[in-house]
Amino acid sequence: MAFQRESSILLWALGLLLYCEGDDEEAVRFLRRAFAKPTQTTLNTAILAACVPDTEASDLISSLIDQFDLPEFWSAFLKLCDVYAPFGKIVARMSDLVLKRDSSNQFARLHRAVAFAQLDEFPRATVAL
């Protein structure tokens, strides 16, 4: 059981790194394999939603609607950005998905700007606000 959990965590971490570095298709393959294991959390669901194509993302996002107005939801993303700045790519995508559903969500708008700043895209960060 411990080995299964560790392998799931490694698959998840590899998927995140691949996605942040630009290999989206391969990353999603690893993330799906890890997500199939019993390690699903709100954060993992949100990350997977941010990485998959829009058609799949909408189903995952539906299960998270009540989370979008919670500071804790967004804080979890920022903690990951502190560890690995390219994670901003996932935060930007999550923010875009939330803003498609609710264009007035201030948390999503703010964190989209922070994500672009994490990615050293300061002109896009200022426009995002």
pLDDT tens by residue, 81-111: 888 888 889 999 999 999 998 999 988 988 9
Q: Please tell me the distance from the alpha carbon of residue 18 to that of residue 128, in angstroms, as a whole number.
A: 25
Q: Which domains does the chain have, with CATH numbers?
A: 2-128 (1.25.40)
pLDDT tens by residue, 41-60: 888 889 889 999 988 888 88
Q: What is the pTM of this model?
A: 0.81
Percentage of the chain beyond pLDDT 70 is 90
pLDDT tens by residue, 107-124: 898 899 888 888 888 777
Q: Please tell me the distance from the alpha carbon of residue 96 to that of residue 61, in angstroms, as a whole number.
A: 11
